[in-house]
Structures are given as C-alpha cells and as structure tokens.
C-alpha cells in the first residue's frame, strides 16, 4: 500500500436506504434497496471519509465530518426526490434528523420524521422512505487512498464494503420520513 492513511480510532458506517408502504411485509431490513447502499470509513483525526457503494466508485472526501449528501444524491438516477435522498443519506450517517431538516425533506407529502430500531414492522409507517445506519467504532484500519483496499486485522480487503461482517456493530438505528 503506497498511498495510505491509517488510524486506530476509525469508524465503519453502513448507510442503507429503502422504501416502505402500508402493504409492506416484514421489517426495515427486508425493504433495503441495495443500489443506494454506502460503506463509509471515517478517519476522525485526519477529517477524511472514504466512501464506496454500488452507485459510487471508491472516493475520498477530505476535510469532512459528514457525507457530501447533496452531490451524491444528484449523481444517482432514482425516482426518490433528490432532497429526500440527500436528507436521508446525511441523517442516516449521523443518526439524527439534521440531514432531513437541512435538505427540507419534510414537506407537505412527507412530514413525519421517525427514529426506531430495525426490528420494527415497516408497514406501521405507511408510505415512507428510510435509512438504516450502523457504526463500529475504534477500529485499526489502513486504507490505500488510490485503490480503496483496506487492511484490517492482518487481512487485505479489496473494497470498503468487503469489511462487512468482519466485526460487530456498536450501534444500529433507522431514521425515516412517512407520509
């Protein structure tokens, strides 16, 4: 690994978006739309975010504490309104309602913010958009800033997403807006 950044206090966050309705069966996990998923490594001391997902090739965001949600939402071809997508990306990453408020995703059609566990039945929120977030803190990681390969626990992973399942999450949450 030539161009690397490493730290012992990294955070690994998964951001997964989805949609629900009154007719939906199952919990939030059952309604994730894979094409909107993100895997993010945060290097807090260096203010660096490394982001990867199906809609995004690996990229580095420097001088960052939160996702570049608006620019990411603009690049995705989706029937989800851009302000809702940007708001959910940021709110899911942060685990609060700030992104939804910032991008004015609370409007006349979707005006009920919620934060629950991923075990809830998605149908109880009616027509909704949601994000499932999880974070693992205090990881010792080394990232190749050119290729996106990650070293963790003596093993090399080709992508940030490949780290999923190699450690337990410290925290899970669901945020969303319902109509």
Are 109 and 83 a contacting pair, CB within 8 Å?
no
What pLDDT is stored for residue 106 in this prediction? 78
Tally of domains in the chain: 1
Boundaries of domain holding 73: 4-178
Residue 1 confidence (pLDDT) above 70: no
- State the average pLDDT over residues 103-132: 87
Name 131's bridge partners: 17, 175
Report how far residue 172's alpha carbon sits from residue 169's, in angstroms, rounded to the nearest whole number: 7
Q: What percent of the chain has pLDDT over 90?
A: 85
Q: Please, are residues 53 and 38 in contact by the beta-carbon 8 Å criterion? A: yes
Taking residues 132-156, what's their average pLDDT?
96
What is the pLDDT averaged over residues 107-120?
83
Question: Residue 59's pLDDT band (boundaries 50, 70, 90)?
Answer: very high
Residue for token digits 């939160």? 66
Summarised one tens digit per residue, pLDDT across range 9-18 is: 999 999 999 9
Q: What is the pLDDT of residue 56?
A: 87
Question: 67 to each of 35, 84, 113, 148, 167, how far by Cα in Å?
Answer: 17, 14, 20, 17, 23
Q: Name the nearest CA neighbour of 86 among 160, 34, 33, 36.
A: 36
How far apart are alpha carbons 128 and 19 in whole angstroms? 6
Share of the chain above pLDDT 70, in %: 98
Among residues 30, 26, 66, the alpha carbon closest in space to that of 49 is found at 66
Share the mean pLDDT of the chain.
Answer: 93
pLDDT category of residue 23 using cuts at 50, 70 and 90: very high
CA atoms within 13 A on the CB side of 76: 26
If you search the block for the tokens 């807006």, which residue do you land on?
177
In whole angstroms, give the CA distance from residue 63 to residue 29: 32
């Amino acid at each position: 690994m030539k161009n690397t950044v490493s730290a012992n206090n990294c955070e690994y966050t998964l951001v997964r978006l989805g949609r629900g309705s009154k007719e939906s069966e199952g919990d939030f996990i059952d309604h994730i739309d894979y094409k909107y998923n993100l895997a993010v490594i945060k290097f807090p001391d260096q203010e660096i975010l490394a982001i990867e997902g199906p809609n995004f090739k690996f990229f580095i965001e420097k001088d960052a504490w939160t996702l570049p949600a608006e620019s990411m939402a603009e690049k995705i071809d989706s029937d989800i309104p851009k302000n809702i997508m940007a708001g959910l990306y940021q709110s899911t990453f942060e685990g609060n309602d700030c992104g939804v408020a910032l991008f004015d995703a609370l409007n006349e059609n979707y005006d009920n913010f919620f934060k629950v566990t991923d075990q809830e039945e998605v149908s109880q929120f009616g027509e909704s958009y949601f994000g499932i977030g999880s974070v693992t803190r205090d990881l010792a990681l080394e990232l190749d800033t050119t290729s996106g390969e990650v070293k963790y626990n003596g093993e090399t992973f080709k992508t940030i997403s490949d780290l999923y399942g190699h450690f337990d999450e410290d925290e899970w949450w669901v945020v969303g807006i319902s109509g």
